[in-house]
Amino acid sequence: MDRAGQKVHRAMQEATPKAGAAYTFRRHDNVSTDFCTGDKQYCSWSQESKLMASDRRAGDLLGSSVSVNDVQGTALVGAPGAAAMSMYKTTPANNPHYPGKATSVEIPIGDFMAKWARSGGTQTLLPNAMRQVLQQRAVDASSATAVTAAEDVDTQPDYDDPLVYDPRAFDDREYAEAGAMYVFRRNNIIISAGVVLEVQNWPPTEQMKLVPPALRARDGLGTSVALSGVTAFGGANGDDGMGNNAGTVYQYDIKMQRVYFDSAEYYATEGDNSDVTITISRDADYIGHPLTVAYATSDLTAKGIDPLRYADCLSMPVAAREGCGDYVQTSGEVTFAVGDSAVNFVIDLVNDFCKEHYSEYVQLTLSIPGSTALGGEEYYAKLRIDDDDFTYTECTHEFL
């Protein structure tokens, strides 16, 4: 702006435009940080914090909806523009990853669902979104061909981008605008004998990220949110479950905000430990309530086998164990009874006589029963399995 007398504002270019944020403010006595208990004229408001998603990306629109429970110190914030992401904060790759290497398998589910899951002989994490995108690509490609055939160069869309034509190329439309909900948790005020020792504060990134398993591109989870006690609701008005954009609402019990893995990394030694016990704890706030949490393992570098295979392997001499992996895939639910501050689950480990160069890692995740793995540092842990076979040779069989 060049108008005389007007200030010119210039802002830095943002790295993540429209990622969004939510701000918290606190009302306090205008000469101290104490609660304002007198007349309003003696109160003032201060900004406490700026809340942002740890995996923020441009266009997430975090803050499109907000709900706060001031008593427990929880804020639920919607980000309807967020793309669906893996727990490693990356957008999953599109399938098939490698031309010619994808294999079609029979899926033991109903024909209708199976058609969703198979798009051109491929499987995908987000089947319906994949199908929509493939259909859209076909439309794009045929309209581009038609325009080219008519030699009407002026109206030809910009199809320089090879993504449009290559069915195997990465296409972020498969994951766009799925939406997400983030739970932020306040560190509460510390008061001693009526004196505020430390004012309440909010860590700037989320305690947990909530994403339901059925979420797909353009569902818009977090268009609206509501929090009542520990019950959280999130609207996803683009959900197609009951018809195109019919919408849906998800409900969560977020007592999980007070639960955590005891350790970021557990460890065990093959041979020494036939299993490893994983402890999950919770803080005192909800100890008067029972709480069921779900847990699961997944392969990082370690290879998991199922319990049937494990039974086979256990019946073989250690020297003969081939294709027995490193550990037994484990998932389930465990319940904190009233008064329990810790619960356990056990992962069985496999011993063999194969030397391995590196320690193996297993990913451990927690979830609210029915949800996907929760996002948030306290809900992720790793199990490291150390090899004990340094006096043996490396094995050549598969699935080590």
Q: Which residues bind Ca ion (CB under 5 A)?
A: 270-271, 326, 351-352, 354, 360, 387-389, 400
The b/e string for 318-352 (b: 16+ C-beta within 10 A; e otherwise) is eeebeebbbbbbbeeebebeeeeeebebebbbbbb
Q: For Ca ion, give the closer residue by CB, 348 or 389.
A: 389
Q: How far is the CB of 386 from Ca ion (least distance, A)?
A: 9
Instruction: Tell me whether residue 118 or residue 384 sits nearer to Ca ion (CB atom).
Output: 384
How far lies 182's CA from each of 206, 283, 350, 353, in Å?
6, 20, 38, 46
Q: Closest CB to Ca ion among 378 and 387? A: 387
Other CB atoms within 10 Å distance of the CB of residue 195: 10
Residues 6+ apart with CB under 8 A from 26: 45, 46, 48, 199, 200
Of 240 and 386, CB closest to Ca ion: 386
Q: Which residues contact 366 (CB under 8 A, 6 or more apart)?
A: 256, 259, 261, 280, 293, 294, 295, 373, 374, 379
Helix (H) or strand (E) holding 50: strand 43-51
Question: Torsions phi, psi of 137, nearest 5?
Answer: -65, -40
| Cβ distance to Ca ion smaller for residue 236 or 354 | 354
DSSP 299-340: ESSS-EE-HHHHHHHHTS-GGG--S--SEE--EEEEEEPTT-
- The identity of residue 79, as a single letter, is A
Shortest distance in whole angstroms from residue 394 CB to Ca ion: 9
Minimum distance from CB of 316 to Ca ion (Å)?
13
Collapsing DSSP to helix, strand or coil, 13 comes out as coil
In angstroms, what is the minimal distance from the CB of 263 to Ca ion?
22
Spell out the alpha helix ranges (H) of the chain.
111-117, 127-149, 307-314
Our CB check for Ca ion shows the closer of 60 and 387 to be 387
**Shortest gap between Cβ of 276 and Ca ion (angstroms)?**
15
Which is closer to Ca ion, CB of 98 or CB of 390? Answer: 390
Q: What span, in angstroms and rounded, lies between the C-alpha atoms of 356 and 384?
A: 13
Instruction: Give the whole-angstrom CA distance, residue 185 versus residue 210.
Output: 14
CA angle, residues 145, 151, 155, in degrees to nearest 5: 80
Closest distance of CB 300 from Ca ion, Å: 11
Nearest distance, CB of residue 321 and Ca ion, angstroms: 9
Closest to Ca ion by CB, 91 vs 273, is 273
* Nearer of residues 233 and 353 to Ca ion, judged by Cβ: 353
Identify whether 212 is preceded by a cis peptide bond (ω within 30 of 0): no
Cβ 381 to Ca ion shortest distance, Å: 19
Distance in Å, CB of 194 to Ca ion, minimum: 59
